[in-house]
């Protein structure tokens, strides 16, 4: 199979604070850079930060918009968590375990960059929960589920 990369473009306030968070903090590899854009590699996936002049809409809570990574290896998830601590990055939500003692159990934490973009990093105890376990309808935190009930067909 040909290697395929995920690409995400997102708005930021400025390039210097973006580089400080993503490159210096998370360890992204910096690629091409212009006055208004920065291409980065986040674990091999392409992120493109674009400076916008308008004020960014602030989000209240982790929903509906955030992005991040799902780690297949708990050790890799723990290594990133250690890096976050070492680099003194501020948690948006501290590490926790969701859906304890269910097939959906997973570890997660959230960060927010200087532009207010929210990132989630998680590791599922059971790999099948990443795309499977369709008999379960839990998605996200309970407060989200109450606001946006799951639609089943």
- pLDDT score of 150 more than 50: no
* Residue scoring higher pLDDT (141 or 90): 90
pTM for the predicted model, two decimal places: 0.88
d(CA 106, CA 124): 4
- The residue written with tokens 């998370």 in the block is 26
Confidence band (pLDDT; 50, 70, 90) for 144?
very low
- pLDDT score of 145 more than 60: no
- pLDDT score of 55 more than 90: no
- Helix ranges restricted to H, 2-151: 15-19, 74-86, 142-147
Over residues 84-95, mean pLDDT: 96
């Amino acid at each position: 199979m040909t290697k395929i990369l995920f690409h995400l473009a997102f708005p930021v306030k400025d390039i210097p604070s973006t580089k400080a968070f993503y490159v210096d903090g998370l360890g992204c590899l910096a690629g091409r850079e212009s006055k208004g854009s920065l291409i980065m590699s986040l674990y091999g996936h392409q992120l493109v930060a674009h400076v916008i002049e308008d004020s960014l809409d602030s989000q209240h809570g982790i929903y509906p918009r955030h992005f991040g990574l799902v780690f297949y290896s708990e050790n890799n998830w723990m290594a990133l968590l250690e890096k976050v601590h070492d680099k003194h990055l501020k948690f948006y939500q501290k590490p926790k375990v969701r859906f304890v003692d269910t097939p959906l159990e997973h570890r997660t934490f959230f960060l927010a960059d200087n532009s207010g973009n929210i990132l989630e990093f998680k590791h599922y105890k059971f790999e099948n929960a990443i795309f499977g376990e369709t008999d379960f309808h839990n998605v996200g935190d309970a407060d989200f589920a109450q606001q946006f009930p799951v639609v089943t067909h």
